[in-house]
Amino acid sequence: MNEKRVSRRTFIRTSASAAVISTAVGTTHAAPAPLTQRGANNRLRIGFVGVGGRGFGAHVRTLSRFQEEGSQIELAAVSDVFAAYRERASAYIKEKHGNTPAQYVDYRDMYAKEDLDAVCISTPDHWHAKQILDALDSGYHVYCEKPMTKTVEEALEVERRWKQSGKVMQVGVQSTSLPVWRRVREELCAGKIGKVLMYQTEFFRNSSVGQWRYYELTEDMTPETVNWKLWLGVEEGLAEEIPFDRAIFRQWRRFWAFGAGMYSDLFVHRTTAMLKATGLRFPGRVVGSGGIYLEYDGRDVPDVATVIAEFPEGVQGLVTATMCNQGTPIPQLIRGHYGSFVFGNGEEFSGFDFVPEPSTITHLDVPPERIEVEPKLRDTTRAHFANWLEAVEAGKPEQCNNPPDLGAAAIVVVNLGARSYQEGKVFHFEPETRTVLPGSEEWAKRWEQMSKDRAKPKHIPGWHAGDTGSTLEEPDYMALAGPWIDGKPPEARR
């Protein structure tokens, strides 16, 4: 390993971090943190893989602000298959910081030639896994936009290789940096709503032109300015070679070969947050449904979809949406035997409502409650990058709010949901062996057997509330239940 690269990995632990966090959470603005006596060669050098919409607007701009405020980072190089994107990002960095970042068409040239410490990836879904794995092999810390990968198999491989690498990796579901989820998790495990039974979430949107067609096509997008074969990943086996098409290049989320529509672009947001809140990870059974009911514009992906995930802990997860309505979404919530946590819609949550079940059921006199959580974030993207930089600084991969093990679990849910819709199948997933299996009667039979055995309910990871909200009363008249044998009632045999 290059000693220069090692020396830069420990960048300043000063008021720069405080400045990053204070501006992210909406507290009093701190003055830009002064640079320390360390020279520029001690900065964390960051390269960018993909500097289009999100890559430029969120990745480059956010980290540029951190550098302006004193964080010891350097925006060192950019790579993109589209010349206009490379030139825009490079010009912006030069204007803000004075250095001219190196430009590359192929990210692998950047990895090979630049002395980097970390990379930020914002490319179409079908490239994520390869770019992540190449980065980890190069010894880089990684920030990658959601979804972490395109397929389940890729997600499991990224998780495995990340654990081996010791590198810090953040998956870009920025809502996982909301403080609210930690509080929700604490309350759930303490039994506030009793046995956790279900989460319900959504991502309803609408558009007059159709989802993802609002990404504009421009005349400067041509085979001369876009390395189309590289974008497709033909030589890497990522996609088949097809004629250049501006709509596919710019609006790729509409097509299965490169993305998965709302499943990977939107459902992964909500699913990841719910997994973080509940502590659940890999599902045991997944089914997806939907269809293209309105947006007949040449797309592959549905405009109405639902995924239902069943977890071995005895919890059902539901995520549903139409891409044709945004005025009537269902509320996001987590249900338990003693009550529910209701979040509402969107993802900028600063608190949640506890709605208790009737006291005739719980035998508890607990009023409804509004639970507020501090600090209140006003910029989750900024907070998410801040969390990543702090984890890199501390050398603690586990400190990231959305590490690859959480990212992989979310991919299993949304990807199997998309496959279920496409293939008309139910999928099972075996967490121990990390294996996708065909649907069978086993799932239903398991719960039926637990009922017959009068078993105790299973619980979310971290549950420490004993039998709170997890047991049923046994009415006296149930003594009359049971089969009559030789003409004698069950009570006669007791």
What are the C-alpha distances in Å from 156 to residues 25, 118, 128, 169, 469? 33, 22, 13, 14, 35
> Which residue among 250, 273, 297 closes a domain?
250
Regarding whether 453 and 483 lie in a shared domain, the answer is: yes
The answer to whether 263 and 288 have CB atoms below 8 angstroms apart is: yes
Do both 171 and 308 map to the same domain?
no
Task: Supply the DSSP string of 98-158, one letter for each residue.
Answer: S---EEESSHHHHHHHS--SEEEE-S-GGGHHHHHHHHHHTT-EEEEESSS-SSHHHHHHH
**Confidence (pLDDT) at 15:** 33
User: 27 and 62: one domain?
Assistant: yes
CATH number of the CATH domain containing 109: 3.40.50.720
- Give, in order, the Cα–Cα distances in Å from 480 to each of 105, 279, 449, 473, 487: 77, 40, 22, 15, 14
**Domain count of the chain?**
3
Q: Where are the alpha helices (DSSP H) in 151-267?
A: 152-165, 180-189, 228-232, 246-250, 261-262
Give the pLDDT of residue 3. Answer: 44
Answer yes or no: do 129 and 266 share one domain.
Answer: no
Residue 32 in this model has a pLDDT that exceeds 80 = no
Rg from Cα positions in the chain = 25
Q: Is the bond leading into 329 cis (omega within 30 degrees of zero)?
A: no
Residue 261 sits in the same domain as residue 407: yes
**Mean pLDDT, range 226-235, rounded to an integer:** 98
Residue 31 has pLDDT above 80, yes or no: no
Provide the terminal-to-terminal Cα distance of the chain, rounded to the nearest Å: 75
Q: List C-alpha distances in Å: 326 to 7, 208, 225.
A: 49, 12, 37
pLDDT digits (tens, 9 = 90+) for 257-287: 999 999 999 999 999 999 999 999 999 999 9
Residues comprising the chain, all counted: 494
Residue 41 is predicted with a pLDDT of: 64
- Report the CATH number at residue 366: 3.30.360.10
CA dist 77 → 50, 104, 143, 222, 483 (Å): 11, 8, 15, 24, 76
Could you tell me the pLDDT band of residue 408, with boundaries at 50, 70 and 90? very high
Same domain, 287 and 245: no
Structure confidence at residue 40 (pLDDT): 56
Q: What strands lie across the sheet with 44-49, from one edge to the other?
A: 102-104, 73-79, 44-49, 118-121, 141-145, 169-172
Domain match, 165 and 288 both:
no
Question: Per residue in 86-95, pLDDT tens?
Answer: 999 999 999 9
Within 8 A by CB and 6+ apart from 445, the residues are none
Domain identity same for 226 and 309: no
- Based on the fold, state whether residues 268 and 154 are members of the same structural domain: no
Predicted confidence band of residue 348 (pLDDT cuts 50, 70, 90): confident
**Confidence at residue 457, expressed as pLDDT on a 0 to 100 scale:** 97
**Residues of the domain holding 224:** 216-250
Residue 450 CA from chain centroid, whole number: 32
Is there a single domain that holds both residue 388 and residue 416? no
Same domain, residue pair 311 and 391: no
DSSP letters for 459-492: --TT---TTTTT-----GGGGG-S--BTTB-GGG
